[in-house]
């Protein structure tokens, strides 16, 4: 299979080859495709849960149950910190 990339993407791959653990562009692209596949599979597997959470959040917003930006970021940082510790 032959794949043609834009020069900008080729430059990004070259930069990652120079600083990363990849030995070749083929290895880099293989890893990138695998990660994209896993991401797409996760989205497909969790689509219903994601949609339910969006609906729940939209309903909360319609009821005026909103959190200001600073509080939202504080909560996200807390979740991130808990996740890093586990």
Q: What is the pLDDT of residues 45-86, one digit of tens each?
A: 999 999 999 999 999 999 999 989 999 999 999 999 998 998
What average pLDDT does range 10-35 have in this prediction?
Answer: 93
- List phi, psi (to 5°) of 74: -60, -45
Which residues fall within 8 angstroms of residue 79, CB to CB, at 6 or more apart?
none
Domain boundaries, the chain: 39-86
* The pair of three-digit structure tokens given for residue 76, joined into one six-digit string: 């996200």
Question: Whole-structure pTM over 0.85, yes or no?
Answer: no
pLDDT above 90: percentage of residues in the chain: 87
Which residues fall within 8 angstroms of residue 66, CB to CB, at 6 or more apart?
60
What average pLDDT does range 26-54 have in this prediction?
Answer: 97
């Amino acid at each position: 299979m032959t794949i043609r990339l834009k020069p900008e993407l080729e430059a990004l791959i070259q930069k990652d080859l120079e600083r990363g653990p990849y030995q070749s562009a083929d290895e880099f692209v293989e890893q990138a495709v695998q990660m994209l596949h896993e991401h797409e599979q996760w989205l497909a597997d969790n689509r219903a849960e994601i949609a339910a959470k969006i609906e729940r959040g939209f309903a909360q917003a319609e009821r005026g149950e909103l959190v200001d930006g600073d509080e939202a970021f504080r909560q996200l940082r807390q979740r991130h910190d808990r996740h890093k510790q586990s």
